[in-house]
Structure 1
């Protein structure tokens, strides 16, 4: 007589939820570690921390990962210091953020010499740089002494992915020399030099930038004395907060 084999019922695992729970607790712990580690903004430590996360997630050098950009963006959001760029704020909030950031990173004399003005309109925020601090007279070559100040501005631009328009402005004194036929070329050369510096030495995305020359066509004060002409010689870094209002 054939023996009947009784089919054993498959044992149901009632403890699978523990795996998900453990993952959740791990992620929660990692989140608070990140918040603590980035509470004091330190660019070098922040970069080391970001690289450590990528390494442990096996992301470093994995160019074939189609989700690499999304993961990098997520990590960037994770390690962003609390109270950073107001992503949902308007021009006024962004201006306040820029002002606070530069006040924190630059001493009073450095900011006074480098930053001519910070202001906003309905489209975005402008950081006006004093051209005489960053360029020799009649030149589009950046002064070595001014690069530290430009580095501080670059740090502000790294906090967001907004489009940036670099505008070159001069006074109305005709330029003398063979390198630049007119103030148009001088202003354009200076704007382009700033873009090149941001892209080459700070790895900012070149797709974010536009360089424009206004020459002497947009003075902020009359060119009637040396002080006014110095104010008109400027580089304006325009952070566009509303792309829909800018055609460039």
Structure 2
């Protein structure tokens, strides 16, 4: 009888009613996450403004600027936004800088663009190179804070000097880049570096040789049509700044001709 009474008991099912937005739901979490992200971005921006130079900030701004033109003339005008025509500076177009007149996307200045145009001409980036393939093996060009550094260096079987006397190869190298040196009015500096001598050398000659080689290159510039008056510094560094891990390597025998920044040479 007890079992029959149990079967007759009503079955009560309790269902919890879920109300949308109860306790504000989960939307607040999304809003809070957006707020935290925005604050992090704001503090990052404040840090960048305080920790960077004007040139770096210009580079950051240019990074987010469009660099591909959709028409021959860029939008805007001389109004508040200061838009400019891509052909406003003809020299930049001639230099192959894509019509960007004031700076490149990485903060490159007009002077940088002009100096890099010399590098492009030497290596033939815009057409035929000034040097043949064999001569190019002796050449390295880089842009530094001081200016454009044109470096000529020895190869194991092909030296540029015999003692302090320039070889025909070096004479040809300097004549080949003479046109680009003449095209820029900037002052010029010459630096010479020598591979280290063995420790057993009785009378080290690195200082005498580096000074002699630097002066020999100075005397070669007028032969290439470059006025000697433009040379403002001739320096022999001996073996003090090797570029190869082995101080005795012939790669350390090199000459640097530097087209200096922001200096105008006297009349040629």
- Name 1:133's counterpart in structure 2: 159
In structure 1, the residue matched to 2:256 is 236
Q: Measure the CA separation in 1 of the matches of 2:229 and 2:198.
A: 33
1:142 aligns with 2:142: no
Kindly indicate whether the alpha-carbon contact (under 8 Å) linking 1:85 and 1:160 is maintained by their aligned counterparts in 2. no
**Matched position secondary structure for 1:216:** coil
Match of 1:172 among 190, 193, 196: 196
Which runs of 5 or more structure 2 residues have no equivalent in the other structure? 1-90, 98-108
Summarize the alignment of residues 1-248 of structure 1 with structure 2, pairs less than 5 Å apart. Answer: 83=94, 89-91=110-112, 93-103=114-124, 104-112=129-137, 114-115=138-139, 117-131=140-154, 133-136=159-162, 139-174=163-198, 182-199=205-222, 201-209=223-231, 210-223=233-246, 229-243=249-263
Residues 33-90 of structure 1: CA deviation (Å, up to 9, x unaligned): xxxxxxxxxxxxxxxxxxxxxxxxxxxxxxxxxxxxxxxxxxxxxxx9x93699x833
Shift of 1:94: 0.9
Higher relative helix content: 1
CA distance in 1, matches of 2:200, 2:205: 8
State the 1:93 CA deviation. Answer: 4.3
Distance 1:154 1:175 in 2: 38
**Separation in structure 2 between the aligned mates of residue 96 and residue 152 of structure 1, nearest angstrom:** 16
Q: Structure 2 length normalisation: TM-score?
A: 0.50
| Conservation of the 8 A alpha-carbon contact between 1:174 and 1:183 | no
- Check conservation: 1:110, 1:149, Cα contact below 8 A: yes
Q: What SS is found at the alignment partner of 1:171?
A: coil
Any gaps of 5 or more consecutive residues in structure 1?
Answer: 1-79
Aligned equivalent of 2:106: none
Shift of 1:176: 9.6
Count of aligned pairs: 154
Aligned-partner SS, 1:90? helix
In structure 2, how many angstroms separate the alpha carbons of the residues matched to 1:141 and 1:175? 24
1:177-218 CA-to-partner distances (Å, cap 9, x unmatched) read 99x95201101111111110112x134221211210000111
Match of 2:19 in 1: none
Query: Greater relative contact order: 1 or 2 (C-alpha under 8 angstroms, separation 6 or more)?
Result: 1
C-alpha distance 187-232 of structure 1, shift in aligned 2 (>3 A): same
* CA displacement at 1:120 relative to structure 2: 1.2
Cα deviation for residue 223 of structure 1 reads 2.4
* CA distance in 2 between partners of 1:211 and 1:189 (Å): 10
TM (norm. structure 1) is 0.53
Report the secondary structure of 1:221's partner residue.
Answer: coil
